[in-house]
Chain A
Amino acid sequence: MSNTFETIQSDIATDESEPSVKHEPKGPKTKLKAPYLQKLTAEQQTRQFAFRDYRVTHSALRRVITDLMPLLMTASETNVICVTGATGVGKSTLTKVMLSKLVENFDPMMEADASAIPLVYVEARRDGNARNGFGRLYRKLIAQLWEPGMSKKVPFTIQGGKVVMNSRAQTTVDDLRELLEDCLEQRKTRVVVIDEAAQLARFGKPEDVMDTIKSLANTTNTKWLLVGSFDLYDILATNGQTMRRMALLNMERYRAENRDKLDDDKDDPKSFEKVVKLLQAAWPCAEKPNFAAVSDELMAMSLGCVGLLKTFMLDAANLQMRKPGEKWSYEFMKMAQKSIGLRSKIEEEILRGEKRVQDAVYGNSLWDAKKFDQIIRLMDAKKVAEANEI
């Protein structure tokens, strides 16, 4: 049975993993083919996969994790935490890094108790079936909780002081929910992570979806982390009751205007340049193009999203690998980047999404800088007065 921990371990270990090789490279007599028909050798494929799986823990990612971990690891009433961000901003990388950190945190608990499954991770993928979304999500979660005999379940009801087994009845969504609640409680689950959580919007009315998630989090005393695109915000902002127990974190992209700050970590162009340099250092070909020299241009091209930059570099590297002698050509940069039409569509979507979530993001306070200074002064003055009285 595959579970969250195995998935995480396999992801972390992918740097050393050998890709499957179906065709052996042919000898020197082989006629050269066009680049798109050129097959990669096993060694090239290994380098390619290694570059694909190479992950950079950049400052934007660290900032979100710094905010996120205390929310997940403490006993607070905020039990639904949502992480949104632009497409390609690095949400998937964030999820994987965060999961490995959580696994590290829960290690002692898992060592001490072989029945405990403190962390559960599923993807709410769209699979073409619009019906019974929650049923399928519950099944995925229950499978991650190592529940045996899923095909042999016998639902039961207790009502009017009687226990009645429903041996021939089909397992309903309610039955699955009750089983999931029991599993989460008995397996001592602390955090449930749902990736691609924007797909939850297709499970029903937004308020119903969030009510379900919220009640599950409350009854099982678990923290639910929903990671998804800006569409996720539509199902979050349904009613005040839901928002009360919720925190929203936005994974910011790098912006050219955030320049010349005193703190290097908050200087976006510098941070982006570091990312470019790191990716350049891990370049899978011997001839490494100097991307760092044009990091500002790359930031503009990738809209400040590390994921889009990575896609661009991966495509460029693929083209270089297929070239005889893996010779670099600047033409690859033009071929690998998104077309203007696609880029503007993505940009439009990102700007629209950012506008939607900007006021709801975690840390965005009601008080402006002036009001906040005033509050601090008042509190300090009160403290001094009390100290003097004593």
Chain B
Amino acid sequence: MKSERSLFFPQELQGAGTADVESLRSYVERLSLKHRLNPTTLVGLLVERMPLDSVSCPQNAYRLTQHWSLHGASGVGQRLAERLSAATTVDLSSSTLARFGSLFSPVGLAATRGVTHYCPACVQQVGDDGLPYGRLLWLVGGIRACPHHRVRLRDSTGCGAPLSARLELRCRPSLEGVCGQCGSIGFQCLKDQEIEHATDIEVWEAEQVSRLLSLSASSAAELSSDGIRRGLREVLDTRFDGKAVNASLEAGLARSVVWTWVEGKFRPTLRGLLKFCARARCDMVEMIGGSYVPSREVRSSESPAQPRGYRRKVLADDEIRERMREAAAMEPPMSGIQLAHSLQIDRKLLRTRFPAEHEALMEAGRRHSADANQARYLDVERRMTTAVETLRLKGKPVNRKSIRVEAGISTFSATGNARKALEVVMQRLDSHAEIL
């Protein structure tokens, strides 16, 4: 019908057709802001008008926007992008990795249920609306660097603003490139924090994935699993004398992994393929296309790929006991899992063969946790006490809410430190104790 109009007014997908293409999450968040809606409300309105038709698709918009697990090869993200494209008349097919879903294993393809990352330099660049946007590249599993600025990505949970400058929960924005706690655009709250430089291998990996993301829709459609297998064979023949096991071990993968890829038993993981290509010094995008093209040299000293060791670790019991005692005396004490990993032995072995030392190690851990918890409690109580004094000086009412707001502390749990400290402070107030 001619008079039928799109559900939302369109918003341009930033960086479309380039390596800096915007992620679906960032698009939804910016579109929501433009429409003055909460992202969950916007997705809810969309799903209400255009239901996601699969059983596996949660109808509940809250579940879709809770973890934003939409950027990998999952059908949910793809269908949401399709519906949002129809609702905005903007092509969003490149805003997720779904177009590469048939090439790679879905495992670890995109970050899920975790914190998001951002490049501290990229988020300083703002668009016409005065806001930065989130790149799809930052959500690709295993990518730790920005290829343009050669810096490490930061996780977006950190906030450098003082507690008093942090926003109330209801005022906090949900936008990529904007601090979720204080609302500062481009994470200006962390501008004094030193920017970490990325290693050569991290930058190389980011460059390879950038090139993959910048492929046009037609070029991406030409890629196939057969092409990857062809490329893998060519690389194996050229660089590893046709030996898949050698290639796997050198790339730090399990010995049969590359063989399963070549034989088409499993689709390669993107992270695994990056490791393999880094070791083989070949261009990943060309290899996916079916040919071997040497890549630039990556400094091997920085390469994280360590050949996987299959030899049994031989350690004397006394040596293990000594290491367990040292671990218990450390500050903070090492956990059993960490110790077992460092010794390259089974973690159950520590409990079964060295019960006394294991118990001592556990006790040290418990003691450390209790001390840390007590320190956190004291800190919260101190901040709340200070807040009470500040409120009194300002002549403002002193109650649970005003104390929480002034101290910049949220009390989510009924048993948490913040709640306990608040109760103690309120009791002191009621009995006119030493708080004054």
Q: Write the A177-214 contact mask toward B (1 if CB under 8 angstroms, else 0).
A: 00100110011000000000000000000000000000
Nearest to A167 among chain B residues (CB) is: B170
CB pair B173–A115 under 8 Å, yes or no, is no
In this assembly, does B41 line the interface, its C-beta being within 8 Å of a C-beta of chain A? yes
CB pair A149–B171 under 8 Å, yes or no, is no
Q: How far is the CA of A163 from the CA of B184 in the complex (A)?
A: 6
Tell me the interface secondary structure of chain B in the complex.
loop
Contact partners of A110 in chain B: CB under 8 A: 2-3
Tell me the residues in window 157-181 of chain B with beta carbons closer than 8 Å to chain A beta carbons. Answer: 167, 170-173, 175, 178
Contact partners of B11 in chain A: CB under 8 A: 186
Contact partners of A171 in chain B: CB under 8 A: 36
How near does chain A come to B168, taking the closest CB pair, in angstroms? 9
Known: A149-B42, A153-B37, A163-B183. A111 touches B3 (CB 8 A): no
Residue among A147, A162, A166 facing the most chain B CB atoms (10 A cut-off): A162
CB pair B38–A3 under 8 Å, yes or no, is no
**Chain B: interface size category:** 35 or more
Nearest to A117 among chain B residues (CB) is: B5
Q: Contact check: which of B33, B36, B175, B188 meets A161 at CB < 8 Å?
A: B188
CB pair B42–A163 under 8 Å, yes or no, is no
In this assembly, does B309 line the interface, its C-beta being within 8 Å of a C-beta of chain A? no
CB pair A114–B173 under 8 Å, yes or no, is no
How near does chain A come to B167, taking the closest CB pair, in angstroms? 6
Contact partners of B6 in chain A: CB under 8 A: 114-115, 146
How near does chain B come to A181, taking the closest CB pair, in angstroms? 11
Residue among B10, B11, B45, B175 facing the most chain A CB atoms (10 A cut-off): B10
Q: How far is the CA of A111 from the CA of B42 in the complex (A)?
A: 26
In this assembly, does A158 line the interface, its C-beta being within 8 Å of a C-beta of chain B? yes
Q: How far is the CA of A186 from the CA of B7 in the complex (A)?
A: 12
Known: A163-B173, A165-B172, A187-B9. A156 touches B33 (CB 8 A): yes
Contact partners of A111 in chain B: CB under 8 A: 2
How near does chain A come to B426, taking the closest CB pair, in angstroms? 25
**Chain B residues with a Cβ under 8 A of chain A:** 2-11, 33-38, 41-42, 45, 88-89, 130-131, 167, 170-173, 175, 178, 182-186, 188
5 intermolecular pairs with C-beta atoms under 8 Å apart: A115-B10, A161-B184, A165-B170, A165-B172, A167-B38
Other than the known A163-B131, A186-B34, what 12 A-B pairs have Cβ atoms closer than 8 Å? A110-B2, A115-B88, A149-B45, A154-B37, A156-B33, A158-B130, A161-B186, A162-B184, A165-B172, A165-B173, A175-B36, A183-B9
**Chain A residues with a Cβ under 8 A of chain B:** 3, 5-6, 9, 107, 110-111, 113-117, 145-149, 152-156, 158, 161-168, 171, 175, 179, 182-183, 186-187
